[in-house]
């Protein structure tokens, strides 16, 4: 397991709002020890910004592709960048 911290920004589309997706994401991220945040976007998608070891982020993305009961995930778009190191904990953000 690598100690290198990476950052992934993800946009999840499909039926992902109104089904507990943000809380599901928060729970999964905390279990994996990932820092960051999640929020609903006006276009109906869910945006996630997360930092942590690559393997933990990959596992988070795998769980996002399944989503919680009631969700119908169509696409998870990702953008990998350099970690800022400024995120602590994982939370739900609001507009």
Which ranges in the chain belong to alpha helices (H)? 21-32, 54-66
Q: How many domains does the chain have?
A: 1
In the residue annotation, 40 being an active-site residue is answered as yes
Catalytic residue among 7, 31, 39, 40: 40
In a domain, 74, yes or no: yes
Whether the model clears a pTM of 0.85, i.e. scores above it, the answer is yes
In the residue annotation, 22 being an active-site residue is answered as yes
Query: What is the rounded average pLDDT of the residues 8-26?
Result: 98
pLDDT of residue 2: 55
Q: Find the radius of gyration of the CA atoms of the chain.
A: 12
In a domain, 69, yes or no: yes
In a domain, 94, yes or no: no
In a domain, 36, yes or no: yes
CATH code of the domain in which 58 resides: 3.30.70.100
pLDDT of residue 95: 72
Catalytic residue among 7, 15, 22, 63: 22
């Amino acid at each position: 397991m690598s100690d290198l911290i990476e950052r992934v920004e993800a946009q999840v589309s499909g039926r992902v709002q109104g089904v507990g997706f943000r809380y599901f994401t928060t729970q999964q991220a905390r279990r994996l020890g990932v820092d960051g945040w999640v929020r609903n976007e006006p276009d109906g998608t869910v945006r996630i910004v997360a930092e942590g070891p690559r393997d933990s982020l990959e596992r988070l993305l795998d769980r996002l592709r399944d989503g919680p009961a009631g969700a119908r995930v169509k696409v998870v778009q990702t953008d990998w960048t350099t970690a800022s190191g400024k995120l602590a904990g994982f939370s739900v953000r609001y507009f």
